[in-house]
Structure 1
């Protein structure tokens, strides 16, 4: 049995994805191949969940528990340790709970493909990461491992966190001519608020041209207002769907499916 833990899971991608995957592989519910949604009002309920469901072999973790789940685990994969966030748990036969971060895997593989397909000579520019939340940390580590320089920007200069060593500026003070890869890690523009977009200045948006790469981790809608602004100026764009599929497949590999 597998599942997803989070606070609000009504719009979960994971249950449909894994249920269909089990069907394609002819893995039946009778054999225990089920994927369930477990809404937890608080992370402390995790221990009861594990106790009440001894057949659980793996879990995905979503907002707001990617960080707060860590004290409840026995081990962390080295990448999850660096990111300080977990979105996949493997439960061994002896009950050992190991935390992984497959957001990193999904993002890194999709970004490499995106940049290589659109820029055969490789990417030597600096990236700008919009947002400083949990997803931004996975993006940060992936960029480090790809040797891509980056800066962060958030809505408030007060959002600097101890585990980062970077300069954080208000959106309005950024000059995007210094950044040819712009990655939105915030939920701005996500359904149903599809008219929202990161508050870079209109002057900045006007500077975007065919030399820019825009990556939005949001995948619903397929093309966010942020991506539309870039596409209209000739930029190369990608949404978060490939990353989502990549992180799900990486979780399946960890679980041995």
Structure 2
């Protein structure tokens, strides 16, 4: 049996297992399985790899940055982003080699193509975790001026209290990379001045469960274009599959 899987702290929200299980059935890969591995600490990863011997792993909240300490080699994008969401694991004669990749970059870039317009020259990114780093990387490559928003802002970042109507007006793209509003806490939303949103705004939420978060509902109610994270999930998953099979 060839094992693939997802590592994270809580995985009840994730669609990855179903996505790959359906894919394996469709391709008639009966000897393949995709397993959710909930880790209370990233320190459990070496033992997981030793006991389960997976060929590849996806990495989600909150381990996209912490996992780097266990990686032997980083792809160029993972190195530049400083976050990893895909591991390719090679079993050598007397050692195990772990290569870290970032397919969030590919997934986000592909998912926003139909929505990205010239007026989206300034963006707010809500959150500063591993997913945020991939989004920032892509947007800067597209020439977008990016401002990060954090509960504990560092120099050059904004706090949520500072996201007033004026800031919203001058940032036509807002991307939520935090888990706020994710199942099972679907009634929650990030605290910003939603009344300042217009039909010129594009709101992107990397969450895909629920399909429409409160964040996106607030935007849609004011005429903004909205995009959830499902397309990004599919795109990054296919990129991971390509990497695992190289």
1:123 Cα offset (Å): 4.1
1:12 aligns with 2:14: yes
Q: Is the Cα contact below 8 Å between 2:174 and 2:203 reproduced in 1?
A: yes
Compared CA separation, residues 190 and 11, structure 1 to 2 (3 A): closer
1:214 Cα offset (Å): 0.8
Q: Is the Cα contact below 8 Å between 2:120 and 2:171 reproduced in 1?
A: no
**Runs (4+) off by over 6 Å:** none
SS at match of 2:58: strand
Q: 1:61 aligns with which of 40, 59, 62?
A: 59
TM-score by length of 1: 0.86
Number of the residue aligned with 2:71: 73
1:53 Cα offset (Å): 2.9
Number of the residue aligned with 2:218: 229
1:154 Cα offset (Å): 2.2
SS at match of 2:66: coil
Deviations 1:63-118 (A, max 9, x none): 22211211111100111112211110011252321001111211111112222xxx
Number of the residue aligned with 2:142: 146
How many residue pairs match? The answer is: 239
Q: Is the Cα contact below 8 Å between 1:214 and 1:236 reproduced in 2?
A: yes
Q: Is the Cα contact below 8 Å between 2:13 and 2:183 reproduced in 1?
A: no
SS at match of 2:175: strand
1:8 Cα offset (Å): 2.3
1: CA distance, partners of 2:201 / 2:4:
40
Unaligned 5+ segments in structure 1 are none
Number of the residue aligned with 1:84: 82
Number of the residue aligned with 2:197: 208
Q: 1:171 aligns with which of 161, 172, 182?
A: 161
Q: Is the Cα contact below 8 Å between 1:104 and 1:138 reproduced in 2?
A: yes
Compared CA separation, residues 169 and 49, structure 1 to 2 (3 A): closer
Compared CA separation, residues 209 and 127, structure 1 to 2 (3 A): same
Q: Which moved more, 1:14-23 or 1:191-200?
A: 191-200
**RMSD, aligned α-carbons:** 1.8
1: CA distance, partners of 2:16 / 2:85:
12
1:212 Cα offset (Å): 0.9
Counterpart mapping for 1:30-49 below 5 A: 33-49=32-48
Compared CA separation, residues 177 and 256, structure 1 to 2 (3 A): same
Compared CA separation, residues 195 and 9, structure 1 to 2 (3 A): closer
Compared CA separation, residues 16 and 124, structure 1 to 2 (3 A): closer
Number of the residue aligned with 1:255: 244
Structure showing the higher strand proportion among its residues: 2
Q: 1:238 aligns with which of 219, 227, 239?
A: 227
